[in-house]
């Protein structure tokens, strides 16, 4: 089976997943995304690179899609910033488009915003989204909680290949701290850090070993909190992985709604996936904002919180008696077994 993968935007983690699922796929990407792949993954694919010296449309036109049995297109932004590049792109094989913002792709209504350019972009994008969707045989979503909405809105067959897969082994280093890690660039618009900080102001008074790590570039002045670790610059991949490998809990404090590039409102866990896949990849227990749907496979290792008091009580439960913490971490290893590469491949019976 010959597989092609196009990823020219930024989802290197999902590209890594697909490369490891198939035997020597052909990958069309950028040097920046390629450099962000794990070193052990790079030799597993054939690469063609898109550079800023050529137009994206011209690069896409040069891809001979007829040579593939299946072609994955991983990221198209639902905005005219990106959509126009794909206007004439038409796969000549079985094709799969991964959608990350379902409402933006299914929206058929006029969306008016204060910014006239955003409103205009929304109107034009609606038309192009529909024409591009018609070119694909499958719609892929990276989180199973998005499947019901996708099936209700799109005519193509809906499948689910998870964003990340669970590593076979995760070996932690010994340390004196209990680390609660929030992965991703620090963005107060998309994530409710205030609730977490309010809880940890009290937690750290009672449990000096508790440490909160904002694992992403931050422009915000939160370094004065002595229990917090932040990064002012992009976090190198080895540092990023080291902190997740040694995390005791991963926190996903996403707000329930967010906006896509063309300002359509999205709901985390329903039309857009929250950042839960670091907990799956590194097989860690998860603290998640209440009301955000959780994949069935990891419900036993996921703990939802509704406010700072609730989050404090949850953390206190695990910090007061380390047996509870060890049990939660052990459960996370067990529940994430459904996301190993072997398990994901078993669920891809649609590929014949």
Give the separation between CA 186 and CA 230, rounded to whole angstroms: 9
Fold match, 3-161 / 178-339: yes
3-state secondary structure 213-264: EEEEECCCCCCCCCCEEEECCCCCHHHHHHHHHCCCEEEECECCEEECCCCC
Q: End-to-end CA distance of the chain, in Å?
A: 9
pLDDT number for residue 218: 85
Of the candidates 78, 76, 67, the one whose C-alpha atom is nearest the C-alpha of residue 97 is 76
pLDDT number for residue 56: 85
Greatest distance between any 2 Cα atoms in the chain: 63
Give the separation between CA 164 and CA 177, rounded to whole angstroms: 27
* Domain 178-339, classified CATH 3.40.640.10, yes or no: no
Helix axes 193-206, 308-320, angle to 10 degrees: 40
Of the candidates 284, 34, 6, 324, the one whose C-alpha atom is nearest the C-alpha of residue 164 is 284
CB atoms closer than 10 angstroms to residue 189: 7
Tell me if 314 sits within 8 A of 293, measured CB to CB: no
Return the SS3 of 22: coil
pLDDT number for residue 83: 87
Indicate the fold that domain 3-161 takes in CATH.
Answer: Rossmann fold (3.40.50)
Tell me if 101 sits within 8 A of 272, measured CB to CB: yes
Tell me if 100 sits within 8 A of 129, measured CB to CB: no
pLDDT number for residue 230: 85
Give the separation between CA 4 and CA 50, rounded to whole angstroms: 15
pLDDT number for residue 145: 97
What does each of the 352 residues of the chain score in pLDDT, given as a tens digit? 999 999 998 899 999 999 999 999 999 999 999 999 999 999 999 999 998 778 888 899 899 999 999 999 998 988 888 888 898 899 999 999 999 999 989 987 666 666 666 666 676 787 888 899 999 999 999 999 999 999 999 999 999 999 999 999 999 999 999 999 999 988 888 899 999 999 999 998 899 999 999 999 887 666 556 788 888 888 998 999 999 999 999 999 999 998 776 667 899 999 999 999 999 999 999 999 999 999 999 999 999 999 999 999 999 999 999 999 999 999 999 999 999 999 999 999 888 6
Domain segments of the chain as ranges: 3-161, 178-339
Give the separation between CA 222 and CA 229, rounded to whole angstroms: 9
Task: Report DSSP state, residue 269.
Answer: T
Give the separation between CA 230 and CA 224, rounded to whole angstroms: 10
Which residue carries 């690069």 as its tokens? 59
pLDDT number for residue 158: 97
Helix axes 322-335, 308-320, angle to 10 degrees: 100
- DSSP 3-state percent helix, strand, coil across the chain (nearest 5): 40, 20, 40
- What's the token pair of residue 37? 């792949």
């Amino acid at each position: 089976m010959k597989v092609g993968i196009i990823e020219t935007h930024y989802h290197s983690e999902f590209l890594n997943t697909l490369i490891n699922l198939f035997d020597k796929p052909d990958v069309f990407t950028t040097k920046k995304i390629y450099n962000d792949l794990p070193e052990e993954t790079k030799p597993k694919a054939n690469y063609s690179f898109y550079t800023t010296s050529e137009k994206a449309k011209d690069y896409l036109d040069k891809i001979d899609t007829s040579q593939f049995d299946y072609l994955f297109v991983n990221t198209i932004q639902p905005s005219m910033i990106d959509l126009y590049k794909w206007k004439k792109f038409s796969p000549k094989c079985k094709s799969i488009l991964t959608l990350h913002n379902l409402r933006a792709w299914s929206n058929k209504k006029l969306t008016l915003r204060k910014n006239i350019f955003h409103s205009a972009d929304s109107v034009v994008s609606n038309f192009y989204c529909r024409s591009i969707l018609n070119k694909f045989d499958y719609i892929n979503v990276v989180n199973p909680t998005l499947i019901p909405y996708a099936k209700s809105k799109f005519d193509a067959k809906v499948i689910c290949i998870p964003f990340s897969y669970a590593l076979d082994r995760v070996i932690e280093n010994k340390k004196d701290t209990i680390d609660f890690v929030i992965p991703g660039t620090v963005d107060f618009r998309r994530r409710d850090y205030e609730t977490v900080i309010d809880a940890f102001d009290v937690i750290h008074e009672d449990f000096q070993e508790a440490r909160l790590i904002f694992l992403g570039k931050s422009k915000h002045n939160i370094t004065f909190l002595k229990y917090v670790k932040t990064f002012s610059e992009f976090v190198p991949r080895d540092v990023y992985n080291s902190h997740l490998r040694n995390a005791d809990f991963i926190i996903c404090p996403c707000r329930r709604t967010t906006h896509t590039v063309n300002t359509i409102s999205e709901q985390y866990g329903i039309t857009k996936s929250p950042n839960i896949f670091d907990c799956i990849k590194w097989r860690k227990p998860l603290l998640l904002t209440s009301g955000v749907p959780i994949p069935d496979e990891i419900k036993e290792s996921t703990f939802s919180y509704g406010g700072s008091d609730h989050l404090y009580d949850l953390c206190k439960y695990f910090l007061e008696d380390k047996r509870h913490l060890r049990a939660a971490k052990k459960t996370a290893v067990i529940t994430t077994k459904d996301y190993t590469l072997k398990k994901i491949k078993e669920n891809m019976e649609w590929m014949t």
